[in-house]
Amino acid sequence: MVEATESPWEVNMRFVNAADLDKPAMVTLEEGTHYWCRCGQTQTPPFCDGSHEGSAFTPLAFEADGKTPMTLCMCGLSRNAPHCDGSHREY
């Protein structure tokens, strides 16, 4: 389910194509800008693949330094996106 909220930084959604929603993605990304999906329709969760085109949703840009491991939200419910805040435990 996807619901747009008033703030462009908030979204209440679940990824519809994630195989493993019960835990965050532990990754070390290449240095640069990456895009976390906020529409919930991506085929490559938690990253944007452009599936939002034509909707009111836009991806959340975030930076990675190429060295620091990150815990990225896979459930789409984090209040600290793109980082996991444990919200998946509530569902």
* Closest to 15 (Cα-Cα) out of 73, 90, 86, 87: 73
- Phi, psi (5° rounding) for residue 89? -70, -20
The pTM (predicted TM-score) of the whole model is 0.78
pLDDT tens for each residue of 76-88? 889 999 999 999 8
Is 79 in contact with 85 (CB distance < 8 Å)?
A: yes
- Domain range holding 37? 1-91
- Report pLDDT for 20: 66
The amino acid that residue 64 corresponds to is A
Task: Give residue-wise pLDDT tens across range 2-60.
Answer: 444 444 444 445 555 555 667 899 999 999 999 999 998 988 889 999 999 999 999 99
Domain count, the chain: 1
Strands 2-4 and 11-13: antiparallel
